[in-house]
Amino acid sequence: MSTTAPVAAGSVVDPTITGRLGDSPARPDGVAKVQGSFAFSGDLSADGFLWGATLRSPHPYARVVSIDLSAAWKINGVEAIITAADVPGKPTYGLISQDQPVFAAEYVRFVGEPVAAVAANHPDTCRRALEAIVVTYEVLEPLTDPERSVDGSFPPIHPDGNVFRHQRIVRGDTSVTGEVVVEGDYEIGMQDQAFLGLEAALAIPDPGGAGVELYVATQWLHEDRHQIAACLGLEDEQVRLTLGGVGGAFGAREDISLQVHTCLLALRTGRPVRIAYSREESFLGHVHRHPARIWMRHHATVDGKIVKIEARFVMDGGAYASTSSAVLINAVTHTQGPYKCDNAVVDGWAVRTNNLPCGAMRGFGVVQACFAHEGQMDRLAAACGLDPVEIRLRNAMETGDRLITGQVIENVAPVARCILETAALPLPDEPVGGHDGDPMRLPGGAGLTADRSHIRRGIGWGVAIKNLMYSEGFDDYSTARCVLRDGVASLKFATSEVGQGFVTIAGQIARSVLGVDDVVLEPIDTTIGSAGSTSASRQTWMSGGAVDGACRLVREQLFAHVGSQHGIDPLRLAIDGRDVIDTMGDLRVPVAEASAGVTFEETFEHHHRPTEDLDEDGQGNCHTAFAFVAHRAVVDVDPELGLVKVIQIATAQDIGRALNPLSVLGQIEGGIAQGVGLAVMEEIIQTDGRVRNANFTDYLLPTMLDMPDVLVSLIEEPDPMAPLGAKGVGEPPCISSTPAVVAAIRDAIGKDLTRTPVRPSDIVF
Amino acid sequence: MSVTVAHTLDDALASLAATPTATVLAGGTDLMVELNGGHRRTDAVVSVNRVRELRSWRHDPAAATLHIGAAVTYAELAAEPLASFAPALAQAARTVGSPQIRNAATIGGNVGTASPAGDGLPVLSALDAVVHLASLAGRRDVAFAEFATGPKRTVLQPGELITGITIPVLSGYQGYAKVGVRNAMVIATASACLAVDVPGRSVRLALGSVGPVILRAPEAEALAVAAADFEAGAIDADAVEAFGAAAGRAARPIDDHRSSAAYRRRAIEVLARRLLVRAFPGTPGGE
């Protein structure tokens, strides 16, 4: 059968785009995305492809007694039906521990867990086939309260037990007490990444089933490949992945969802197979932000200096491990926030329940910790009679301070500067309740629920520290290849472009290092070494470092070539504009001319410095690097109806260096949108393990009309540890924006709020 | 699936008579979501949004009524000239979905879907709208209060089509307010419409999303009529409080994933008070 290979996302190149580091060139995929011509993974097709679909568990916890496929097989057009019995390789997968079945075998452990998959000639045939599969379940009482996983009162729902990880941190003198003590219980709801481009993949089998090619929207091609190959019983090299156009990720594409199913169906039928999730299926089919309950007690001196923190974290990881253990470590190691603290006792659990599985989402555990520690800072300010800015300045962390893990902060750490520059940004000139005549500036907006006299304004603060890159001894790296010929640089990497803009940055790096205008980006696939995951705010640092390294090696070759042609020591050569110049003489040769007919090629792996595991007291240099941010939120609240309009968010962010200022602003505004969402509306609601709002009617995301004005101050202190001086900027904007908004609501209504998202009823009652 | 695109009302009624189980498609803003989500299936669709008679409206100054065809869109209701004839309906229309949805969604579809959260419905209830139905067998009119019998259940018979509604053009304040968790493009947690007929000395209050169907609040209405100074446009603060409380008593809200019954009842109390103050902004006794 002939197949047409789809166009890969990374090969979209606009030759009119130029721009070097520090500029803000247009995205190479920008116009296509705006015009609707960009091929997202959901748009992929191949000649003669079959549709795939997934049968999912309707129960949060049940034993699978039997599966009867006979009626489904009788449906005309059904080409394959597969269950756990048809998985040729490893029956389970997972990023850290492989505890999640490709298909449920003995037990289903959450509503939505895959039980079978079909391939057929039409989506309707798939639907009828799924309906015809008869699964007999013995329904069991589900474990939905994470505290029962902690206290061990519920029998194990998985052979690996009900606790993913417990981590204790003990630091300094734990007998110390403060003259001022404040404590609070905090709760964070389950947020969804809610990317717009739904999960979709196209698998094309090799003739004879020798291997398979998968086009998929993912965050980490090589890790996907490794897990897929293991489940298929193939070698990694027999599985080739190409990035399908990604419509957002935010952590939800780190785990396997439809990858193995799609490949299995393709190998079973010998035909291309395509699976595309619906929105409802997407809510069930990927991991979410961990709901968390956090208790914190801060001890301080009368003048507000923190002397000890005690804390307890319980994070509900749902049915399977995903990255729960790493999310927990991020949460507990960020207990203190961006503040000095010498003494601490922290206990944290990430546990298994029959709720939806949770894993990575932008902020990765730090969002939860920050909501609690920022609530505590406001309590401490009140107890000490200080304002929210002063309490934070008095405790602000600096380079050289230690985390409660004992790790020294070696990065640039401009915490006080973040706070002061945020405070210096102007407050809105708009009166409380907005200017006359525009209901959209009032809480309730188009619903015309309020008049200006009903509205109260509040101001709140949030400040955060966020680790960058992976932790706990993982040898993290990224790979890039650079080829220079005839004045054109070609770049090859497997870095997932999920919308963050690495395809723009990569070209800027090559133009800056090599003095070229034209940069070609090769397809993003597994024919080169791993780039690691597009997560943990790491790609500009890691893949940026790899592209920079490869380009610099090519530049050395170019200088050696020019040097030998002209009898000049290559060390005297430099790039000036588009030319190679002799810094000690008159030679000036255009790069295009110097590379005419010659090919220079180099591949470079960038590794970050090694990290360590934590010991049993939670001590160790487990993180790679850190970034900091401050947010100040201004909100208008209708206290009688509990409706909120976020008016303005001001932020100063420690970014190291703005390689592409427009792209940085995009990350900041987008992250704030997600932070505002978690503050006032975004939550997956489950009752007894069943999701009640797996759609965009009831899972509400902020729209343009809910977005506040955003004022930004970029703090550029290039970090010596970062290859380009630039810190990751993706996660910090969504971390402390949430507590800032909630603090502003507290300020407006004069009432304690300890849960996010804040629901109207939390304000009213 | 068979799809019939009707261009005249007779076409539409004939198609519905031939296939009484057919699903009527107008703007498709409810239907397509249900079909795409797999929550509804249909073998036959009759599309009515190209039927001229359904797309038109007619103001009768002598009778002081406004007839609105079933396929008139929310975008049309939100804009002039219709907005001036039915200001509360225009306000409700502006809360419906996004501009794209308002360009497609129709008032007839809102009535036919009969969701308790339907944005336009509290207005039709407060205005005592008449719903016009037609089938090959003939035409009939149903009072809005009689049309919906429960959530998404109506008196519409197989083969019958909603052709339009008629509402009175009242002289007096009318306003709509809707609570949702987002500032636009959100399903109602609670909504209310208040309409005043100054010459007729009546105050009507209808409540949405707080019962199986749209509810009226007769106790609150009577209380307002007794307390209001219609000429001065004024009402005293105690009456406003009592009006809100009575509106809350009329609500029959439930707990669900969108909100709690207690919050919905409170929201109705607040919306009712605020709408009444908008209707009667003056100070009793005059100044």
Q: How big is the A-B interface in CB pairs under 8 Å?
A: 100
Per-residue burial over A46-80, b = 16 or more CB atoms within 10 Å of its CB, e = otherwise? beebbbbbbbbbebbbbebeebebeebeebeebbb
User: A207: Cβ–Cβ under 8 A, 6 or more apart, which residues?
Assistant: none
At residue A6, does pLDDT exceed 50?
A: no
Mean pLDDT of A128-134: 98
Q: How far does the CA of residue A672 sit from the closest CA of chain B (Å)?
A: 16
Is the Cβ pair B189, A760 closer than 8 Å?
A: yes
Q: Which fold has domain B174-279?
A: Enolase-like; domain 1 (3.30.390)
Residue B218: cis peptide before it, omega within 30 degrees of 0: no
Please, which pLDDT band fits residue A1 given cuts at 50, 70 and 90? very low
Least confident window among A8-12, A231-235, B270-274: A8-12
pLDDT tens digits, one per residue of B124-168 = 999 999 999 999 999 999 999 999 999 999 999 999 999 999 999
* Nearest-CA distance B189 → chain A (Å): 10
Please determine, for residue B8, whether its predicted confidence score (pLDDT) is greater than 90. yes
Model confidence at B123: pLDDT above 70: yes
A chain contacts of residue B177, beta-carbon cutoff 8 Å: 444, 447-449
**Nearest-CA distance B53 → chain A (Å):** 31
pLDDT of A9 strictly over 50: no
Q: Is the pLDDT of residue A689 over 80?
A: yes
Burial class (CB in 10 A: 0-12, 13-18, 19+), B52: exposed
Q: If you average pLDDT over residues A413-426, what whole number do you get? A: 98
pLDDT at A14: 56
Does A292-471+613-764 match A477-607 in CATH topology?
yes
What's chain B's average pLDDT?
Answer: 96
Which pLDDT value is given to residue A3? 37
- Interface confidence: ipTM more than 0.90: yes
| Sequence-ordered strand ranges (E) for B136-244 | 138-143, 148-150, 153-154, 161-168, 174-179, 190-197, 202-208, 215-216
Q: Which residue has the tokens 């091609």?
A: A221
Specify the pLDDT at position A2. Answer: 36
Q: Which of A467, A760, A493 is nearest to A621 (CA)?
A: A467
Q: Which residues of B touch A448 (CB under 8 A)?
A: 91, 95, 175-178
pLDDT of A577 strictly over 80: yes
| Residue A490 scores a pLDDT above 50 | yes
User: Mean per-residue pLDDT for A125-132?
Assistant: 97
> Residue B179: which of A127, A279, A641 has the nearest Cβ?
A641
Beta-carbon contacts of residue A168 (< 8 Å; ≥ 6 apart): A345, A346, A347, A348, A616, A617, A618
Please, which pLDDT band fits residue A345 given cuts at 50, 70 and 90?
very high
Q: A31-40, A371-380, A652-661, A756-765: which range is least confident on average?
A: A31-40
pLDDT at A460 over 60: yes
Assigned superfamily of A43-141+198-246+253-285 = Aldehyde oxidase/xanthine dehydrogenase, a/b hammerhead (3.90.1170.50)
Of the pLDDT bands very low, low, confident and very high (cuts 50, 70, 90), residue A18 is confident
Nearest CA in chain A to B34: A695
Nearest to A446 among B183, B258, B274 (CB): B183
Q: What percent of chain B has pLDDT over 70?
A: 99
- Residue B182, chain A, CB below 8 Å: the answer is yes
Strand, coil or helix: what is A340?
A: coil
d(C-alpha A407, C-alpha A402), whole Å: 5
| Residues A666, A707: Cα–Cα separation, whole Å | 13
Q: How does residue A88 score in pLDDT terms, banded at 50, 70 and 90?
A: very high
The mean pLDDT of A63-71, rounded to a whole number, is 98
Q: What is the mean pLDDT of residues B76-85?
A: 97
Structure confidence at residue B12 (pLDDT): 97
CATH class of the structural domain A477-607: alpha beta
Query: What's residue A438's pLDDT?
Result: 86
Of B182, B187, B256, the CB nearest to A706: B182
**Is B262 close to A280, i.e. CB distance below 8 A?**
no
Q: How far is B84 from chain A (nearest CA, A)?
A: 17
Asked if A197 and A38 touch (Cβ cutoff 8 Å), the reply is no
Cα–Cα distance measured from residue A730 to residue A749, given in angstroms and rounded to the nearest whole number: 32
* Mean pLDDT calculated for residue range A158-175: 98
From A502's Cα to the closest Cα of chain B, the distance in A is 32
Which of A278, A700, A765 lies at the smallest CB-CB distance from B186?
A700
Per-position DSSP letters for B9-48, written without gaps between them: HHHHHHHHHH-TTPEEESS-TTHHHHHHTTS---SEEEE-
Provide the shortest C-alpha distance from residue B138 to chain A (in Å): 38
**pLDDT at site B287:** 44
- Predicted confidence at residue A434, as pLDDT, reads 76
Per-residue pLDDT, A15: 58
pLDDT at A7: 42
Give me the mean pLDDT over the A324-329 stretch: 98
**Is B185 at the interface with chain A, CB within 8 A?**
yes
B225 pLDDT exceeds 60? yes
pLDDT at A592 (0 to 100): 96
Q: pLDDT value at position A430? A: 87
Domain boundaries, given as residue ranges, for chain A: 43-141+198-246+253-285, 292-471+613-764, 477-607
Given this model, what pLDDT does residue A16 score? 67
Indicate the domain borders of chain B: 2-168, 174-279
pLDDT of residue B230 exceeding 60, the answer is yes
pLDDT for A321 equals 98
- Residue B272 at interface with chain A, using a CB cutoff of 8 Å: no
Q: What pLDDT is attached to residue B36?
A: 85
Which residue pairs, CB below 8 angstroms and at least 24 apart, start in B103-106? B103/B73, B103/B74, B103/B75, B104/B27, B104/B28, B104/B29, B104/B73, B105/B27, B105/B29, B105/B73, B105/B74, B106/B26, B106/B27, B106/B49, B106/B70, B106/B71, B106/B72, B106/B73, B106/B74
- Give yes or no for B174 touching A (CB within 8 A): no
The mean pLDDT of chain A is: 96
The A-side interface with B (CB below 8 A) comprises 127, 278-280, 440, 443-451, 454, 640-643, 645, 680-681, 685, 687, 692-693, 695, 697-698, 700, 702-703, 705-706, 759-761, 764-765
Does the pLDDT at position A10 exceed 70? no
Chain B residues in contact with A693 (beta carbon < 8 A): 257
Q: Which CATH architecture has domain A292-471+613-764?
A: 2-Layer Sandwich (3.30)
Single-letter residue type at A429: D
Q: How confident is the model at residue B285 (pLDDT cuts 50, 70, 90)?
A: low
Interface check for B271 against chain A (CB to CB < 8 A): the answer is yes
**Is a pLDDT exceeding 70 seen at residue A308?**
yes
Give yes or no for residue A560 having a pLDDT over 70: yes
Give me the architecture of the B2-168 domain, per CATH. 2-Layer Sandwich (3.30)
Check if B191 contacts A (Cβ < 8 Å).
Answer: yes
Q: What is the pTM of this model?
A: 0.96
Largest CA distance in chain B: 67
Write down the pLDDT at residue A437.
74
* Mean pLDDT in residue range A262-277: 98
Percent of chain A scoring above 70 in pLDDT:
98
Pick from B176, B191, B263: which is nearest to A761 by CB? B263
B285 and chain A: CB distance < 8 Å anywhere? no
